[in-house]
């Protein structure tokens, strides 16, 4: 009887250890599944199995990226030119440009007084 009890205790201990190992294994598998889901590996593999879809998405991404660069550069250039003209307006008087503008205004006024050419 003592031998059987000793064997039962050892078996219970082994079962508890195995249960703990299985719980740790299950926890690690869940962590790995979560990491794979966050990495979106399924999307990458579907892209690799369908290369035309992969090329299409990269093409669209390139177009959007290029459009963003163009719009961003345009805004930066506009801001830079606005600041530059305000600085130059206060610092420099440009009589040469003023003459051309006056001549242009004179031509426009003459056109408005004459009316449209028929």
For residue 47, what are the contacts with CB-CB under 8 A and spacing of at least 6? 53, 54, 57
Q: What is the pLDDT of residue 80?
A: 92
**Alpha-carbon Rg for the chain in angstroms:** 39
Q: What is the pLDDT of residue 78?
A: 93
For residue 36, what are the contacts with CB-CB under 8 A and spacing of at least 6? 42
Rounded to 5 degrees, φ, ψ at 89 are -60, -40
pLDDT in tens, the chain (118 residues): 678 888 888 888 898 888 889 999 999 999 988 888 877 777 777 777 888 888 898 999 999 999 999 999 999 999 998 888 877 776 656 666 777 778 888 888 888 888 766 5
Q: What is the pLDDT of residue 73?
A: 95
Q: What is the pLDDT of residue 91?
A: 61
C-beta separation of 47 from 57 below 8 A: yes
Rounded to 5 degrees, φ, ψ at 9 are -65, -40
Q: What is the pLDDT of residue 76?
A: 95
Q: What is the pLDDT of residue 90?
A: 64
What is the pTM assigned to this prediction? Answer: 0.41
Q: What is the pLDDT of residue 86?
A: 79
Q: What is the pLDDT of residue 99?
A: 76
């Amino acid at each position: 009887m003592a031998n059987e009890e000793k064997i039962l205790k050892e078996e219970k201990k082994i079962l508890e250890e195995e249960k703990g190992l299985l719980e740790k294994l299950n926890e690690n598998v869940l962590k790995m599944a979560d990491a794979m889901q966050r990495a979106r590996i399924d999307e990458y593999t579907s892209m690799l199995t369908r290369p035309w879809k992969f090329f299409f998405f990269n093409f669209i991404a390139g177009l959007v990226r290029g459009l963003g660069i163009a719009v961003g550069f345009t805004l930066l250039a506009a801001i830079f030119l606005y600041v530059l003209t305000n600085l130059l307006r206060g610092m420099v008087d440009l009589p040469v440009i003023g003459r051309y503008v006056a001549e242009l205004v004179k031509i426009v006024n003459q056109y408005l007084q004459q009316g449209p050419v028929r």
